[in-house]
Structure 1
Amino acid sequence: MLHATDRAENEFEDIYSGHLGRRSLPKLVIPDGPSDPRTVYALIRDELALDGNSSQNLATFCTTWTEPEVHRLMDDCVSKNMIDKDEYPQTAEIESRCVHILANLWHSPSGARTIGCSTTGSSEAAMLAGLALKWRWRKRHGTGRPNLVCGPVQVCWEKFARYFDVELRQVPLRPGATGLRPEQLRAHVDENTIGVVAILGVTFTCDYEPVAELAAELDAIQADTGLDIPLHIDAASGGFIAPFVQPDLEWDFRIPRVASINSSGHKYGLAPLGVGWVVWRSADLLPEELIFRVDYLGGEMPTFALNFSRPAGEIVAQYYNFLRLGREGYTAIQRVCLDTAAHLAGQIERMGPFTLLYDGEGGLPAVCYTTTDDAGFSLYDLSLQLRIKGWQVPAYPLPPDRQETVVQRVLVRHGISRDVISLLAQDIRWGVEQLIGAPAKRPHVSFHH
């Protein structure tokens, strides 16, 4: 027999006065019974509202705004497993189209014979490229411990080196430099170097490393020593910037020494999280031993990835962007982002207590700056002041040997308007005014990318 309160709940299931809304949500043990879907959705959504506003997160490179059609395509693909190419052949075809579009965008000489694949993000794509470098080196040498030479890389390369037993030779920054320089290579490469990584959009400062000059130095090293060292381009962000707004910059497969390129579709490729891409110059640069052939999903299919089951929606969304925007659309969007970054750089430069390290020209749509010697406050303090206003703007030291320099970096993405950036500049001025004359205290916070 139902009690009166039970009858009332059956007749009137309110989100906040029903059985689930009257108590804290389960956190350690799955509940015994089911609940009303409308209530569960609303209560979880309430918790998610406590997160920061993604449009004010100027630390992330990742897409935070997408068109409604992308959301609908993602819904249409929610049940599709990207790995099952026999069951979902048209989705697999769309993935292949994206690989070939990117290969063309990056001036691959292989045409229809291009080989590449999608990944869950640029980190996985970088690791796949690193594995290919290692296996090709092993075929050539087979002895000694392999090493990979790079400048201030993103943490995915540190993971690659640790997980796959490769010595990571991170070249220290020279005074005034923000990345690897050609004249540093000769002292760090040897017969066990599997490759050199060049960054098109350094994580810490957002400018580009000089890819063509690095390749030319490797050419000179080969002429002098016989060492034929391939170049991999980590174009996690720049791979979707340079082709559209810096088309004359030679950084891609136009340079013969470039063996492979990785990029993030979910960064300046404008696709939602999470999709990355890796493309090789030619099929022979991906060792056959790294390709697995799977026959238990309905038909034999090759696969080369660290992950297996993956959602298809992000890949379809990437193809939507290619069709929706075309070259002209991508160019217009990235140009506006660069113009907005340059506008912010001008605002910061005129404030007085800052020195620009990167002004948004020639690299990614971003600004990187440090304080002047007489600023009277630290960027860690300013970062906390901006958090009061809802902004996430990281402060962190540059890599060795410039770790005494603390910087802030602001990224401008599609969906971050000139008006929003103007409001940020206004709040930076406000934060500076709050800090002038106050003793600088470094908080116990760290920067994560």
Structure 2
Amino acid sequence: MSKIIFNELEMKILVNNPNVDHVSERSIAYKPEFKTMAVKENLEGKSPSQIFIEHGFDLKVIGAEKPKQCLKRWRKTYKEFGEEGFTTERRGKGSTGRPSSKSLSLEDSLKKAEARIKYLEAELDFLKKFRRTRKAGGEEETIKTSEKFMLIEQTTRQYKLAKMVTYLCKMVGVSRSGYYAWKKAEGKRGNRQESDLKDYELIKFIFDEKKGKAGALTIKMILENDYMVVMNHKKIRRIMRQFNLFTRIRQMNPYKKLAKANQEHRSLPNILNREFDQGEPGKVLLTDITYVFYGSGKPAYLSCVKDASTREILAYHLSKTLRMEIVYDTLDKLSDSIGDLFHPEAILHSDQGVYYTHPEYQKRVKEMKLTQSMSRKGNCWDNAPMESFFGHLKDEVEYSKCQAFYELKELISGYIDEYNNRRYQWGLKKMTPAQYRSHLLAT
């Protein structure tokens, strides 16, 4: 057996070669047709290495000595048995020089290959689900240990990998004993869920009676005073979170409060005046912020900069919070995207939101040598192309199905890439935004 151990990428490369039947970590099974052709070409004078290279094999992957070893074996088989020697499994029968303890039947080989494929699929799916931590907006999102246990159990059941529990536990950094303790407590969790369901019905009744404006502490007081039920406020919060009961309360935006108190916040005139398409890439830049909800109604905020002439999204930033960093990070990404190639008459247009009237933001825009313009108060039509993009995004992206922030981030990133590079638009002469930008620059 070869001393070379193929990794997953090398195995995928080898399997895609039409001359390969199947691959394991330590061996390659070649198709009979390739063996016959290789022997004939070798007898005609071609070297083993030349034959393998011409048929798509990388000697750095399979090993420089592999062609020579294979041809030596195949020539001996061809001499003794002819072409039929390659269509009949003869390993372990003294014909090829590579003894085997047992030859597998076709049915056993298929079962073994199917098991291997299931394992690889499970491992790939598992790695996608268990990315340890994700940083977004300066915050970390971690996967709970109980969620890891749950996905280990789902993976082993779905792919029938009962003997792979230890490996999966090591992969995601949890103990094997902890996993089995979690499985053993399944009955207790079931009882707790039944109890939670009964408590939820009472909490939901009070929540609906107060028209969604009662928080955990208010519900706790009503339970104790009106229903003589003592329930910990932490449990009430957990149940409300579990069943998506979110209190509708009016909250003051701290930046609006700041803007009222700070006379330095000032709006700027509407220089653009809805002249969005001026036929020059990079001359009119539009920016705005929208919100999307994911998971159990958790909000995320998307800030974008759009080229009004090409309709291309030049920069964007997704955040869990509405801190000023969301617009600062967007400006930084815009600067990274364009570099020093800003249009000399470039206009950055936005609404009169507190982020864009903030003195620090206006200072940064000036440092980038951009002219700042703002919509008239309460007039969304003055920034219509930006609103149009957000409308398309919310219609076409199923962001509510994302359970984690990193999933939402990947989904929106994929959509913007699709929008810029593969979405044809009638108003852009049936081109994509990226193609239309190149078209304008060429003309």
TM-score, normalized by the shorter chain, greater than 0.5: no
Give the number of the structure with larger relative contact order, counting CA–CA contacts within 8 Å between residues 6 or more apart.
1
Shorter-chain TM band: under 0.3
- Relative to the length of structure 2, the TM-score reads 0.22
